[in-house]
Structure 1
Amino acid sequence: MRDTTSRWRLLQAAAAASIAMALAACAPDSVRNIEAKGFNAYLDSLKTACPNMVIGNNNISQWLADNGNSGDDDYVYWLDQTSRLYYKRISPAQYRTSVSGALGAGKKDAGAIDCIIRHLPADRPSSPPGGKLL
């Protein structure tokens, strides 16, 4: 009886670990990599470099001040696309098209997106530290 209980617990632990790994692999780069110090510093720099950023109906500056809202689909999308831009997975032109297309076009969009792109570090990496991009 004790041997069966031990096996059952081991099986449950293995299943839980497998599920956690699968979910982590599906998360965007910005969510998966908590060690992204350079990316996080870039986001912090945008707070002062690009005040009053609005894209569509979304106040990007407020997201940055509040450290975002992971329950907000627009925030998650913006953060993922900004991570892709930072890590050179998409070009500035692709970023502009994807973000303004998904979050809604408005007059302030161009200025906010221009500022985000203009303040990209020239020496930014092409992948998160220790992370493997999908």
Structure 2
Amino acid sequence: MPDTITGWTRFQAAAAAGVAMTLAACAPDSVRNIEAKGFNAYLDSLKTACPNMIVGTNNISEWLRSSASTGDDDYVYWLDQTSRLYYRRISPAQYRTSVGAALGGGKADTRALDCIIQHLPADRPSSPVGGKLL
């Protein structure tokens, strides 16, 4: 009889733990770091500063109002890129290009992206508190 942990072999349990750790490492900094209070406050400020933000077919304002699911690939990508912008890992121009291209951006999306960039705090940090950027 194999050595099991609630029906799993030790190998299966170790493999599952390894996969979970790998996936956690791939999550955007804003999802992993619950101490990203400044970034979270910035996202909260966008709810009122930038109402009705649409990029492609994605309603960013609705994502912010409803705390969109991390299972939504577009939301996860937008959140990751916005985190990178906030923490000065990418420039506003890079943000426009990456988010616009990934979410189906066009000229109609310029207003939403402009508002997100315009409301960046000038004194924002270059990394999350207690966190490492990958």
Give the alignment's TM-score, normalised by structure 1.
Answer: 0.85
Report deviation, 1:70.
1.3
Task: Find the structure with the greater CA-based Rg.
Answer: 1
Over aligned residues, Cα RMSD in angstroms? 2.2
Report deviation, 1:20.
3.8
Identity between Structure 1 and Structure 2 (%): 78
Which runs of 5 or more structure 2 residues have no equivalent in the other structure?
Answer: none
Residues 121/17 of structure 1: CA separation in 2 closer, same or farther (3 Å cut)? same
Q: Paired residues, what number?
A: 130
Q: Residue by residue, what CA displacement relative to the aligned partner does 1:36-58 show, whole Å, maximum 9, x if unpaired?
A: 11110000000000001000111
Report deviation, 1:72.
1.2
The separation in 2 between residues aligned to 1:18 and 1:129, in whole angstroms, is 26
SS at match of 1:108: helix
Report deviation, 1:22.
2.9
Instruction: Look up the match of 1:56.
Output: 56
8 Å CA contact 1:87, 1:125 repeated in 2: yes
Report deviation, 1:26.
2.0
> Larger helix proportion, structure 1 or 2?
1
Give the alignment's TM-score, normalised by structure 2.
Answer: 0.85
SS at match of 2:107: coil
Instruction: Look up the match of 1:84.
Output: 84
Which amino acid in the other structure matches residue 36 of structure 1?
A: A
